[in-house]
Structure 1
Amino acid sequence: MKDQLWSLLLSVLAILGSSQGKVFRVSKMECRTLDPSFTYFKTCKVVRGENGRASLYINEVMLYKQPIDDIILNLAIFKISKNRRFQFLNETLDYCLFSRQMLATGFFRFLMAPVLGTSNLNVTCPVQQDLVFNGFSVDENTVKEIPIPNGVYLFQMRSAMMKKWRTDVKVYATRVDRYS
């Protein structure tokens, strides 16, 4: 049943693909700590480069110093239209299971390879260090395969550690045909 739903989703996305843009123009990023006694963000900024390309810089400082082996990531994508948000996607990933099997599906598959390339994120569990994303590029090379149509989007990544939501990162971007 899950495979049938996944095939249906891929078919719908392929149909939408004919009207898709090619790049994302990032307008802003917000990083919020949901538990300040556990972690905080030292850096959370968007650096715009040439022709509208952007790089995301995040430095999350872990105040909790014990190894963490219970990490859940949730990625939600909303299409924003006037005063409404339409949820386009909501996926959850058990990071420790992913690190053992290197198995990600859906949008996490598109996201994890570039994220692992620009961060100090330990591919194995438990995690015990501060997290640094040093210049995650949002350009035609990192997001070209995401098959969604032009428009304004909110990408929301939440993390839960030890059964409690700890962080919430939001990136606002517009899908367009080319940078201007």
Structure 2
Amino acid sequence: MLFAFVLLLLVAEIHSAIQSRFTNIECKMLDPSYAVYEQCKLKVLGRGIVGLNVKATLKKGPFNNAKINMSLWRKFNGYHPFLVNSTFDFCKYMDKSTRKMSYEKVLMDYLNKNSNLNHSCPYEDSIIIKNLVFDANFFKFLPWPPGNYMFQLMAATDNDWKTVVNVHFINTEIND
């Protein structure tokens, strides 16, 4: 019976796949004296390819401590928590040479491809994410059902929340 179930899952995986793409982004600076968003938008890069672009220029700095809260929400008559809600010390995380497999590592490895967040603190000028595309393989090992989702990232320095970024995306099932 177990063999039949595993075989059914493998066949279903061959004939269907999940396609993901960004649908909206919202950037809110909670402390406008600290930084300003010069860019916070999605850009169509090609047919069915949407890139995420964010540029935040720091007015005060450099900062040597930062705390990040990342959470994932799924839409069921409004957004509700789903799978991830994690807070970590960003500067300590970026300073470590070896990192264990975690949601933080998956997210930061993904962001580092198209951003200037790939070094340890201090951060002085601007934080830039350019043409970040939702990679279909990003969540391939997680059993995510089709639906609407929101990824929320909150950032703090000196134990004061400075910004909230909400990235909306959709997972749709495509069949061969």
Structure 2 CA distance for aligned equivalents of residues 146 and 58 of structure 1 = 26
Structure 2 CA distance for aligned equivalents of residues 35 and 105 of structure 1 = 33
Structure 1 CA distance for aligned equivalents of residues 131 and 80 of structure 2 = 29
Q: CA offset at residue 132 of structure 1?
A: 0.6
Render the CA deviation track for 1:98-147: whole Å, top value 9, x for unaligned: 11214264322221112112111251112222101111111324444454
In terms of fraction of residues, the more strand-rich structure is 2
Correspondence list, 1:107-122, <5 A: 107-122=103-118
Q: Pairwise CA RMSD of aligned residues?
A: 2.4
Structure 1 CA distance for aligned equivalents of residues 174 and 104 of structure 2 = 24
CA 1:178/1:113 → structure 2, altered by over 3 Å: closer, same or farther? farther
Structure 2 CA distance for aligned equivalents of residues 43 and 145 of structure 1 = 32
Find the counterpart in structure 2 of residue 68 from structure 1: 63
* Contact map agreement 2:44 2:51 (CA 8 A) in 1: yes
In terms of fraction of residues, the more helix-rich structure is 1
Match of 2:27 among 23, 27, 31: 31
Matched residue of 2:27: which SS? strand
Amino acid of the residue matched to residue 81 of structure 2? Q
Identity of matched residues, %: 25
Find the counterpart in structure 2 of residue 167 from structure 1: 163
Render the CA deviation track for 1:67-96: whole Å, top value 9, x for unaligned: 211101111111001x23220121112111
Amino acid of the residue matched to residue 27 of structure 1? T
Structure-2-length-normalised TM-score: 0.81
Find the counterpart in structure 2 of residue 46 from structure 1: 42
Find the counterpart in structure 2 of residue 6 from structure 1: none
Amino acid of the residue matched to residue 76 of structure 1? S
Matched residue of 2:91: which SS? helix
Q: CA offset at residue 54 of structure 1?
A: 1.2
Matched residue of 2:47: which SS? helix
Mean alpha-carbon deviation: is it higher for 30-39 or for 135-144?
A: 135-144
Render the CA deviation track for 1:33-79: whole Å, top value 9, x for unaligned: 000000110000101233322110000010003x2111011111110
Match of 1:79 among 71, 74, 77: 74
Runs of 5+ unmatched residues, structure 1: 1-14
CA 1:108/1:31 → structure 2, altered by over 3 Å: closer, same or farther? same
Find the counterpart in structure 1 of residue 6 from structure 2: none
Find the counterpart in structure 1 of residue 4 from structure 2: none
CA 1:122/1:140 → structure 2, altered by over 3 Å: closer, same or farther? closer
Matched residue of 1:64: which SS? coil
* Contact map agreement 2:22 2:52 (CA 8 A) in 1: no
Bigger radius of gyration among the two? 2
Amino acid of the residue matched to residue 35 of structure 2? T
Amino acid of the residue matched to residue 79 of structure 2? R
Structure 2 CA distance for aligned equivalents of residues 74 and 104 of structure 1 = 18
Aligned length: 161
The alignment status of 1:131 with 2:97, answered yes or no, reads no
Mean alpha-carbon deviation: is it higher for 42-51 or for 152-161?
A: 42-51
* Contact map agreement 2:66 2:90 (CA 8 A) in 1: yes
